[in-house]
Copies of this chain bind each other. A is one copy, B any other.
Amino acid sequence: MTKKSIYSKLYPLFYPKSIAVIGASEKPGSLGRAIMRNLLNIKFPGKIYPINIKGEKCFGLPMYRSILDVKDTIDLAVILVPASVVPKIMEDCSKKGVKTAIIISAGFSEVGEDGKKLEEEVHRIAQKGNVRVLGPNCLGIYNPRSKVDLIFNPPDRQQKPGPGDIAFLSQSGAFGAAILDFMAEEEIGISSFVSYGNAMDITESTLLQYFSEDPETSVITMYIEGIKNGRIFSEVAREVVTKKPIVVLKAGRTEAGAKAAKSHTGSLAGSDTIYDGVFRQLGIIRANSMLDLFTKAKALAYQPPAKGNRIAIVTNGGGVGVMAADAIELEGMQVASLTDSTINQLKNVLPPHASPYNPIDIIGDADYLRYKNATEIALRDPNVDALIILIIPQSPALDHKKLVEELVSVIKSQRKPVTVAIPGGKISKILSLEFEKHRIPTYKTPEDAVMAMKALVTYGTYLQKRQQHEN
């Protein structure tokens, strides 16, 4: 199946005009109730058809005994009924010509041999009816634009991010929900969240193809424990990565982790050294931890890739400058050697005790103009591929509003990537959000700003090599 047809095949999954909720209910504590309320609360703009053999109404909507009783075409069937009933339900979906389905129910291949057989049976029925299926044993989808929201945790303990351009695919459901909550709090926008569970039909590779064509997505992030089919994944990723960066958090890296992964998702985690090599070869950016995944994704979404690894640092705090220099070297990048012309220009605009070398230490009493000047000069240096700006925001000398205005204008007027670190508490968060409004990725620590830059350097270097290779 071609990429284009995968995009149009899966489009109704992410942008359905009609949803049938099979197993809908008003019963307190039931999954059917939670999903119905989600769709009503978020004001899903399409048609909702609750299906249940019991009951006549569900939250004021007419209830259908079977999906075959619905007159309308169905873009998406959400299936919540017990595993044993799913084959029968899938028969109905096939008959009805449902375009896509999500099986949220558990009790399939993840529970052993019998479950595996049941899953295979459901798969056969779906294939026969040409229904593309997400799951089983998954949380499903959250898409803030189409308002498909199947994440059924109570709203007082589950925040969800607003629209953005990072897609997140998760092999683990619960972890995905925690990540959505985290993204909302950090105000990182999302294009779609997908928990794909056992990946019976739609796999991580299918989803990669979909998101490579999705105009709302600019970066694809993934949490995986194992890969369904390595050869297909490699082929797909190799193509997708030239269009959009892919950042992967691969768990099960160690012997202990791999054992845990096998017990969790049944994944054969495989040798981490092999994964590392394959990811590098495919140009996939690897995240080291849960936080690192979004540190890197934010940078890749907001900034252009770097053309080289020579990094300049502008800072009003000497200590954080030292920490950033350490992290740059530890991550295999270079603290750029500034040209003599740059050093002279910096000397002209900086006070005597500032340092015009790299890290450019504009010292504690720096105001917004000194930041502007140093940033402008550093970014013009031909020896500089990218810039990290460090701001100790507690300083009384800084007019925060003007600082954001001036730095944003300098950064936007050129093409080298920039990441920012603003250490601290409340004031740090407030100022960070101001920069991020302008898509300048901002972090709490110098180390995170460096890890973010590393992603831009890795991706940029990969793209250049690939281009050379293909010319």
> Which residues from chain A sit less than 8 Å from chain B, CB to CB?
34, 110-111, 152-154, 156-159, 170-175, 177-179, 181-186, 223, 225, 251-257, 259-261, 263-265, 289-291, 316-323, 325-330, 334-335, 353, 355, 357, 359, 361, 364, 392-396, 400, 423-429, 444-447
B225 A260 Cβ-Cβ under 8 A:
no
Selected from B172, B291, B323, B395, the residue in CB contact (under 8 A) with A153 is B395
CB pairs A–B below 8 angstroms (7 shown): A157-B427, A170-B319, A179-B423, A185-B425, A252-B326, A257-B325, A260-B361
12 additional contacts, CB 8 Å, given A174-B317, A182-B423, A256-B328? A152-B396, A157-B393, A172-B317, A181-B426, A182-B424, A185-B426, A186-B425, A223-B319, A251-B319, A260-B325, A264-B318, A290-B323
- Whether B253 pairs with A178 at a CB distance below 8 angstroms is no
Q: In the complex, how many angstroms separate the beta carbon of A198 from the nearest chain B beta carbon? A: 13
- Which of B111, B172, B357 touches A353 (beta carbons < 8 Å)? B111
Check A158 against B394 for contact (C-beta < 8 Å): yes
A394 near B252 with CB under 8 A, answer: no
| Cβ–Cβ contact A153 & B257, under 8 A | no
- Tell me whether B184 and A317 are in contact (CB under 8 A): no
Q: How far does the Cβ of A100 sit from chain B's closest Cβ, in whole Å? A: 24
* A251 with B181: CB separation less than 8 A: no
Complex CA–CA separation, A173 to B330 (angstroms): 25
In contact, A254 and B178 (Cβ under 8 angstroms):
no
Are B446 and A181 in contact, CB atoms less than 8 angstroms apart?
Answer: no
- The reply to whether A182 and B428 contact each other, CB–CB distance below 8 Å, is yes
Give chain B residues whose Cβ lies under 8 Å from the Cβ of A260. Answer: 318, 321-322, 325, 335, 359, 361
Partner of A178, one of B265, B318, B394: B394
Contacts of A316 in B (CB 8 A): 174
A361 to B110, CA, bound (A): 14
CA distance A184 to B425 in the complex (A): 7
Minimum CB–CB distance for A175 against chain B, Å? 4
Among A34, A322, A329, A394, find the residue whose CB has the most chain B CB atoms closer than 10 A: A322
Q: Which 8 A-B pairs have the closest CB atoms?
A: A185-B425, A172-B319, A264-B318, A257-B326, A175-B319, A254-B329, A181-B424, A174-B317
Are B394's CB and A157's CB within 8 A? yes
User: B426 to A329, Cβ gap below 8 A?
Assistant: no
With the chains together, A177 CA to B422 CA distance in Å? 12
- For A429, give the chain B residue with the smallest CB separation: B185
Known: A259-B325, A325-B260. Is A394-B172 also a contact (CB below 8 A)?
Answer: no
* A330 touching B254 in the complex, CB below 8 Å, given contacts A175-B392, A318-B174: yes
Question: Among B153, B329, B424, B446, which residue has its beta carbon within 8 angstroms of that of A185?
Answer: B424
